[in-house]
Amino acid sequence: MSHAAFLLPAWLFAIGLYGVITSRHFVHLIGCLTVIQSSTYVLLLAVGYRTDAAAPIFANLPIGTPAVDPVVQALVLTDIVVGATVTALLLALALQVHKRTGTLDPHELRPLRR
Amino acid sequence: MTPLQIGLFLLAALSGGAVVLTREPRRQAVAMGFNGLVLALLFMVLQAPDVAYSEIAINSVILPVLFLVALAAARINNRRREIDRP
Amino acid sequence: MTSLRTIIAAFLCAIALGLASAGLYGLPAFGHYPGPYGDIINRQGPAERHATNMVTLVNFDYRGFDTLGEEFILFAAVIGAVVLLREHRGEEASARPDQADEAPIPERSEAVAFGCRLALGITALFGIYVVLHAQLTPGGGFQGGAIVGSATALLYLGLGYPAWRGMMRSRVLDTAEAAGALAFIGAGLAAIGAGAPFLTNLLPLGTTGSIVSAGVIPLLNIAVGIAVAAGFGTLFLEYLEETREPESGGEQ
């Protein structure tokens, strides 16, 4: 039962993957990729969580108070910001595809159709 | 797990699914913004306020705006192609 | 055809869900973080570096080199997006909005303009506050930069495209982004110049709780904040240019 929280990252990963496979629109596909990304965030934060512990910020807390793991939080917060710029790069690629071929549907881009 | 955590975990599962299953990209941008809000609350409850800040600024504001502008650019591009075509 | 594809995809993703769940089941139970890395930082960090936000401390001191890499992924991704978008368009576009169909473009409503102008200053100020208090309270260069970046979107929504173009000079943004990235490397090389390993925190640590405490951490956060805010400003600028009429376009 205590592992039930880890079902959320697994679910987000699976549903995002399903979206990527079945997507008929590149922009929608990139949106599904952000869901897969968010599954890694939830997983990392869930691993570093400790029941009844404080946030790792000791501005108003005495040092030595039980706190959650700051390392995973540091990894996640930079990745959210950096991931957004990579998503912007993917959107630019999608726009390039649209400019060159006139479509945003991955199925119409299969080499056999050319 | 506290009831608040359980509720937010379930809500995050639903909103994440909604982002994928909203097939119309413009609506998906709205779903994405809501998903970012839910995830930010979840991260807050998981004692990660730093992460909640970046999640809410990125996934609820910046990414939906970028997606909408990219979609607008694609539609305008469609029209330009139609005009160019003899 | 499509439905078969969907069924196969659903089946495969159900397998992925099962495998991922089974794999994650081997982790320590939720709420039982085993340590000890994070615990050591939580215990030693405040005394060693005079900072109170351990997340910023990990990002910009203990794992500063890692963050340097992240910063350059951001830099490279922004440059890549800009190059891809400019390839067809050239450097300049006109200020007139291009249309996707024949319907006239609706006017911006007064309420939206007013709300955005109201939120704009508060958002930008809050972003700067978050950058400056990186080592003390939740926040830091990445979050603050993203908040300032989202304020630039409000600038467009509240003041309209001409005012936004007047303020967002692509040259200034490019320079700011490069300067932010360079300042991070400069701080690292300065430590080498002083005879210590790359990115060692050599500046005086100050008193815990002061805005200038924790040595080089506030400087690095300001550098990253500038780079991130300029990066998102550049992205918004380039994407919005895509929706403008081409300068010399002969289509109309």
* ipTM reported for the complex, 2 dp: 0.87
Average pLDDT, chain C: 83
How confident is the model at residue C125, as a pLDDT?
Answer: 92
Which residue, chain included where needed, has tokens 């390993």? Answer: C197
Q: What is the pTM of this model?
A: 0.88
- The sign of the torsion formed by the CA atoms of A22, B14, A47, A80 equals positive
Q: Evaluate whether B79 touches C99 at the Cβ level (below 8 Å).
A: yes
Segment A59-81 mean pLDDT: 86
Counting as contact any 3 or more CB pairs under 8 A, the partners of A are: B, C
- Among C239, C142, C176, C63, smallest CA distance to A81 is for C142
8 Å CB contact of C53 and A92: no
Query: Could you tell me which residue, C38 or B66, shows the higher pLDDT?
Result: B66
> Measured between CB atoms, does C26 come within 8 Å of chain A?
no
CA atoms of B61 and A15, how far apart (whole Å): 23
For testing contact with chain B, the best of A2, A7, A91 (most B CBs within 10 A): A91
Instruction: Average the pLDDT over B20-41 and give the result.
Output: 92
Give the pLDDT confidence score for residue B86 in this predicted structure: 55
Q: Kindly report the number of other CB atoms within 10 A of residue A36's CB atom.
A: 19
Mutate to test the interface with B, among A13, A20, A34 (most CBs of B within 10 A): A34
Closest approach of B75 to chain C, Cα-based (Å): 5
Q: What is the DSSP letter of C138?
A: S
Residues of C with Cβ-Cβ distance to A20 under 8 angstroms: none
Higher pLDDT, C198 or A111: C198
CA distance C195 to chain B (A): 33
- Rounded average pLDDT over C217-227: 89
pLDDT, position C252: 35
| C-proximal residues of A, 35-54, CB under 8 Å | 43, 46-51, 53
Residues of A within 8 A of C57 (CB-CB) are 70
Q: Which of B15-29, B71-85, C52-66, C96-110 has the lowest mean pLDDT?
A: C96-110
Q: Is B7 exposed, middle or buried (0-12, 13-18, 19+ CB in 10 A)?
A: middle
Interface mutation target, options C13, C137, C150, C228, chain B, most CBs of B under 10 Å: C150
> Which chain A residues contact residue C239 at CB under 8 A?
88, 91
- Max mean pLDDT range (A24-28, C1-5, C191-195, C239-243): A24-28
Closest CA to A45 of C208, B42, C87: B42
**Whether the predicted pLDDT of C97 surpasses 80:** no
**How far is the C-alpha of B48 from the C-alpha of C162, rounded, in Å?**
39
Least confidently predicted of B40-49, C98-107, C211-220: C98-107
Contact C100 B83 (CB under 8 A): no
Of the partner residues C29, C80, C232, the one whose CB lies closest to the CB of residue A89: C80
Q: Give, as one character, the DSSP assignment of residue C58.
A: I
CA nearest to A33, candidates A93, A73, A97, A111: A93
Q: What is the mean pLDDT of residues B32-56?
A: 91
pLDDT beyond 70 at C92 = no
Instruction: Provide the shortest C-alpha distance from residue C196 to chain A (in Å).
Output: 24
* Per-residue pLDDT tens over the stretch C137-170: 888 889 999 999 988 888 888 888 888 888 888 8
